[in-house]
Structure 1
Amino acid sequence: MIKPGSLQKGDRVAVIAPAGPPDEEQLLEGISVLENMGLEVVIGRHVYEMNEDLAVVDQKRLEDLHQAFSDPAIRGIFCANGGFGTARIAPGIDYERIKRNPKIFWGYSDITYLLNAIQNFTDLVTFHGPMVSSDMNDEQRTAETESTFHPLFTGESQTYDSNGSPLVTLAHGRGEGRLAGGNLTLLTNGLGTPYQVYTNGAILLIEEVAEPAFRINLMLTHLKQAGVFDEVEGVVIGNFQVEPDEYAKIKRVLKDFFACAPFPVVENFPIGHCQPNYGVPLGVNAKLTTSPPRLVIDSGVM
């Protein structure tokens, strides 16, 4: 895998919105956080634009994405928020352009589709992490979420254990492989396309938001029947962001589904639609253990 360069104070980064326009006030609040890290922020030309013509929308989103990757002064690209529609633009991406200009690409939720698409066609490490508008605004942001950007500057590895969140083991063991995955709905939707997640020898990360237990069960079953779990080395389960009663049902689904897994499965990582929301590099080596539960991830930058 190709690791992008690390960030330094004074670097210029771009904020784009390939999954839909953000709230302007929240975006500006999140941009202030990036600026306080010493970064110079450039906002994509079409970030706030809305249009009912999907073809026009897609072209504008692609334009901002391509411009950010083409500009040699831009060192990182951060998505403003999630939404929908990234699957539509995946076929139109100039992957050779990205391969010639590797840099940090950061987001999650609907951005999952692009994280995997870019990896599949360029071998570039991508980042599943909190977004500028939806996660870094003044109301949502926590100090822990803000700190998750620091490894982009330092190049340090990351370790997650029960010191930060009480991790729960669903299946014991040890696994090592590249970290892959993202939002469960997007992973499922990508199956059978050139943009699907590849899990052979991988530690698979899954997270979701506002989906009932029966839908989680359906999507996990879909992944299983498509062979996604046949050769994984482990599963990391992030946040599901549902009401407590529904989460109790989801926990039963997860417990039953992974009860006989021949690989380690650990849940309750603070990754996904939650606060704190920790960012992780996809495509780098990771080690998952269960005694005690711990995830160690190599640096995502050079």
Structure 2
Amino acid sequence: MLYPKALQQGDTIAVIAPAGPVDKERLDKGVSFLKEKGLYVELGKHVKAVHGYLAGRDEERLADFHQMVADPMIKGIIFARGGYGAGRIAADIDYELIRANPKIIWGYSDITYLHTAVRQQTGLVTFHGPMPASDIASEEFDALSAKGFDQLFRETELCYREEISPLQVLNGGVATGPLVGGNLSLIISTLGTRYEIDTRGKLLFIEDIDEVPYRIDGMLNQLKLAGKLEHAAGIVVGDFAKAVPKKEPSLSLQEVFEHYFGKLTCPVMSGFKIGHCYPHIAIPLGAKATLNTYQKTLHVEAGVRR
């Protein structure tokens, strides 16, 4: 794997919007938080652009990304929000440029598409974490979520235990491998493309929001039929916010998980507060991790190097 360099106080980071349009007031609030971390913030030229449900046209969002990757003064790129649209620029990204200029890339939700594409094309470790114009700007943004940004400044191993949230064992065991994945619906959208997620020997992390049980059932079934579940070394189930049936009768989310995960030979554990939730624990994707259902822990190695 290729690791980005840790940040230092006084470094400059970029905030750009590769997906949906941002709320300007929320963006300002999120940027203020990043500045309080001792960072200078440079906004992308088109970060406040609006093109329907996109933050500017594809070529504009792509140009902002390439500019910040190429600029040696920019030490990290934090995406303003998710929404929709990151996958539209994936085929035109200059992955050799990223490989030649490895730096911190941070975001989640729709950004899952870019995490997967960038990691599999370049080997770069990227970060799944709360974003300035969505999570950070929320009144619910808490101290534990904020603390996740500290891992960008020094080599920090994450050890997730039940002190953070109750964890449920769906299948017992211990497994080690690179931690990959993100938003379930975005993982599904990579299937059949050149950026199709590779789960072989990996710990597959999944989360989502506003998806009812039958929709999650359908997505997990697609992963199963594509061989992505059986090839995974282990499965880390994050937060599935608002995953409640809108009509009855319905299977519960727990019943859906038990159907797809209960018969696997790899360890599976759910309950991780990673995703569209608070706290939102930030994790480095691509970093080596160990899932241990007997100790109920998830250990993830540091995502930056000095």
- The two structures have a TM-score, normalised by structure 1, of 0.96
Secondary structure of the corresponding residue to residue 88 of structure 1:
helix
After TM superposition, the structure 1 = structure 2 runs for residues 146-161 of structure 1, keeping only pairs within 5 Å, are 146-161=146-161
- Other-structure match for 1:224: 224
Q: Which runs of 5+ in 2 are unaligned?
A: none
CA distance in 2, matches of 1:222, 1:211: 15
- Other-structure match for 2:254: 251
1:277 aligns with 2:280: yes
Deviation at 1:78, TM superposition (A): 0.4
**Range that drifts further, 249-258 or 268-277:** 249-258
- Other-structure match for 2:79: 79
**Residues 267 and 292 in structure 2, CA contact (< 8 A), matched pair in contact too:** yes
Deviation at 1:256, TM superposition (A): 2.1
Deviation at 1:22, TM superposition (A): 1.1
Count of matched residue positions in the alignment of Structure 1 and Structure 2 = 302
Secondary structure of the corresponding residue to residue 149 of structure 1:
helix
Distance 1:244 1:133, change over 3 A: same
CA distance in 2, matches of 1:268, 1:74: 35
Deviation at 1:51, TM superposition (A): 2.1
Deviation at 1:55, TM superposition (A): 12
Deviation at 1:230, TM superposition (A): 2.2
After TM superposition, the structure 1 = structure 2 runs for residues 230-245 of structure 1, keeping only pairs within 5 Å, are 230-242=230-242
CA distance in 1, matches of 2:100, 2:36: 30
- Other-structure match for 1:96: 96
- Other-structure match for 2:25: 25
**Range that drifts further, 225-234 or 199-208:** 225-234
CA distance in 1, matches of 2:168, 2:132: 29
**Residues 175 and 292 in structure 2, CA contact (< 8 A), matched pair in contact too:** yes
**Residues 134 and 140 in structure 1, CA contact (< 8 A), matched pair in contact too:** no
Can you list the C-alpha shifts for 1:239-298, whole angstroms capped at 9, x where unaligned? 111165679811221122211111110101010101111111111110000112110000
Secondary structure of the corresponding residue to residue 15 of structure 1:
strand
Secondary structure of the corresponding residue to residue 135 of structure 1:
helix
Can you list the C-alpha shifts for 1:210-232, whole angstroms capped at 9, x where unaligned? 00100100000100100101221
- Other-structure match for 1:165: 165
CA distance in 1, matches of 2:297, 2:121: 31
- Other-structure match for 1:260: 263
- Other-structure match for 1:124: 124
**Residues 161 and 296 in structure 2, CA contact (< 8 A), matched pair in contact too:** yes
CA distance in 1, matches of 2:47, 2:242: 29
- Other-structure match for 2:41: 41
Q: Which amino acid aligns with 2:262?
A: A
**Residues 112 and 187 in structure 2, CA contact (< 8 A), matched pair in contact too:** yes
CA distance in 1, matches of 2:53, 2:255: 42
- The two structures have a TM-score, normalised by structure 2, of 0.95
**Residues 209 and 243 in structure 2, CA contact (< 8 A), matched pair in contact too:** no
Can you list the C-alpha shifts for 1:174-194, whole angstroms capped at 9, x where unaligned? 000000101000101101111
CA distance in 1, matches of 2:121, 2:244: 39
RMSD over aligned Cα, in angstroms? 1.7
Q: Which amino acid aligns with 1:300?
A: G
**Residues 238 and 272 in structure 2, CA contact (< 8 A), matched pair in contact too:** yes
Q: Which among 274, 277, 297 is matched to residue 294 of structure 1?
A: 297
Deviation at 1:53, TM superposition (A): 10
CA distance in 1, matches of 2:28, 2:52: 25
Deviation at 1:86, TM superposition (A): 1.3
Can you list the C-alpha shifts for 1:85-121, whole angstroms capped at 9, x where unaligned? 1111101111111111100001111100000111111
CA distance in 1, matches of 2:81, 2:55: 20
Q: Which amino acid aligns with 1:32?
A: S
Q: Which amino acid aligns with 1:203?
A: L
> Percent identity, aligned pairs only?
45
**Residues 29 and 138 in structure 1, CA contact (< 8 A), matched pair in contact too:** no
**Range that drifts further, 51-60 or 157-166:** 51-60
Q: Which amino acid aligns with 1:28?
A: D
Deviation at 1:162, TM superposition (A): 0.3
